[in-house]
Amino acid sequence: MLRRLPGIGDPTSEYGDPVLPSRPNRMAPEAIRALGGFMIPPLRIEPVEGSPRSLRVAGELDVLNAELLASRLRALSDSPGDIILDISELAFVDSRGLQVLIETAQRLESNGVLILKNPQSVVANLLDVTQAERLPGLRVDD
């Protein structure tokens, strides 16, 4: 049972512990239960029209949903050529998300480049601090 503390407006459990608001999620409730009840952060992966090796990635990329992007990138990296990710709407990347990008760049190294287009503040800082652009097979375009 959730109740609101007077004057605060944040939901709490019946024991007074804060309860985080759930974020919108497109997963079916049975899929969420299968993952132990964890809410998967929203991640949207869409093909870019007219560019078969380009994807638009938006939302948050973390350990709970990185495999969604990893599987799409593995399929694209099976054939030679550059892969372009428009990450202008990607708000967050954790270490697993970064690992997916690095692994893809390594797979492409001799046959193409993973191009990350328009990273915004948090993601741009992560790429800068980790010096990701120094990796062969990865390029960041602002």
Sign of the alpha-carbon torsion through 116, 133, 41, 11: negative
**What does the pLDDT read at residue 42?**
86
**What does the pLDDT read at residue 142?**
86
**What does the pLDDT read at residue 110?**
85
In this structure, the strands spanning 11-12 and 114-117 are unpaired
What's the pTM? 0.72
Eight-state DSSP code of residue 41: P
Q: From first to last of its 142 residues, what are the pLDDT tens digits of the chain?
A: 444 444 444 444 455 544 444 444 455 555 555 556 556 568 999 999 999 999 999 999 999 899 999 999 999 998 999 999 999 999 999 999 999 999 999 999 889 999 999 999 999 999 999 999 999 999 999 8
Is the distance from CB of 96 to CB of 66 less than 8 angstroms?
yes
**What does the pLDDT read at residue 34?**
57
**What does the pLDDT read at residue 41?**
67
Is the distance from CB of 48 to CB of 54 less than 8 angstroms?
yes
- Sheet of strand 51-61: strand arrangement: 43-48, 51-61, 83-93, 114-117, 138-141
For 50-133, where are the alpha helices, taking DSSP H only? Answer: 66-77, 95-108, 121-129
**What does the pLDDT read at residue 94?**
95
For residue 72, give the nearest of 51, 46, 90 by alpha carbon: 46
CA distance 107 to 79: 10
